[in-house]
Amino acid sequence: MGHDGRVNILGVHLSAAGCTVAKANRAGVPESVERVAIGAPEPTLAALEAVLAKHKPEAATLLGIACGDPLDWRRGIIQSPPNMPGWDQIPIVSRWAGKFGCRVFLMNDANASALAEWRFGAGRECRNMIYLTAGSGMGAGLILDGRLYEGTTGSAGEIGHIRLAPHGPLGYGKEGSLEGFCSGGGIVHMAKAWAYEQDGHVVFNPGAIEQITLEDVGEAAQAGDGVAREIFETAGRKLGEAMALLIDLLNPERIIVGRLYGRYRPWLEPAMRQVVEQEALARPLGVCEILPAALGEAIGEHAALCVGPYRAGMWNG
């Protein structure tokens, strides 16, 4: 406990885009956030531990970790997330519990992000909600009948692994997967493929095809480039296919979409909406809102701070 009697809640978010260490205020939202670059496991963990030590974890501290699958949350082991090379079989919970003497919990970042949007963002007052990560990867967190649904192994919602086409961009180890078409990495793969077909003569080529970034493609789309906009349109269509499947299968009140949707909505949404309206059943579609994540770029730190209180049983439902 802190000097004022409140539980010290800390959260670490691990992703291919980088790491954050956050401390919660009384409301459970970030009071302070410090960023750490992602790299090989040992130096990254050491850097994170140095930041965590500043917050003086103790026995009553709740330390939550949000990280992409695959992982074993019960044993507290990170198991080779596809976007984090080298992070293989990392026993992060036992390591940090031993080092800091506090309670440490691990959760799939899609599930943690769903909790964050449900508690603090666009999913408030909602009993059936799907959160799509739409960041460097693509996963789903499911709030069903007013509670997080994790499945038998904690792997429910791995929609990024679903194949939407026999061939296509590689994502989550599978060609033509939803992650291959709709994640940030997948969109970059499509852009590079276009660039190679055109011998590098595309607006979003910064000088070397392998250096093309998502930001390059987004800036080209903003400037009106037809190829860049077609790439986003393809991603939007595939996103719509996946959403229609989710609407028919789970009948949610809301589907909330993460980072990329908010950034590139003008070029993703028209095709996505068209496909959803064509493919989804009319009745469940009629009660489902599709919204950008309210927490925006701060979703990672909010998500990590939700893990400890949820796992420790501090939330009802």
Same domain, 133 and 204: yes
pTM reported for the whole predicted model: 0.91
Q: Is the pLDDT of residue 173 over 90?
A: no
Quick check: 97 pLDDT over 70? Answer: yes
For 220-251, what is each residue's pLDDT tens digit?
999 999 999 999 999 999 999 999 999 999 99
Within a domain: 178 = yes
- Answer whether residue 161 shows pLDDT above 80: yes
Domain containing residue 96: CATH number: 3.30.420.40
How confident is the model at residue 123, as a pLDDT?
A: 96
Domain limits for position 76: 9-109+298-311
User: Does residue 209 sit in the same domain as residue 102?
Assistant: no
Residues 241 and 161 reside in one and the same domain: yes
Is residue 256 included in any domain, yes or no? yes
220 lies in the same domain as 75: no
Query: pLDDT class for 316, splitting at 50, 70, 90?
Result: low
Does some domain include residue 115?
A: no
Same domain, 61 and 176: no
Give the pairing type, strands 140-144 and 170-171.
unpaired
Does the residue 117 lie in any domain? no
Q: Which residue has the higher pLDDT, 118 or 314?
A: 118
Structural domain contains residue 60: yes
Q: Which is more confident, 233 or 170?
A: 233
Give the number of domains in the chain. 2
pLDDT over 50 at 29, yes or no: yes
177 with 258, same domain: the answer is: yes
Q: What is the pLDDT of residues 250-293, one digit of tens each?
A: 999 999 999 899 899 999 999 999 999 999 999 999 999 999 99
CA 281, CA 225: separation in Å to the nearest integer? 34
Residues 145 and 263 in one domain: yes
Same-domain check for residues 272 and 133 = yes
Say yes or no: 60 and 154 in one domain. no
192 and 285 co-located in one domain: yes
| Mean per-residue pLDDT of the chain | 93
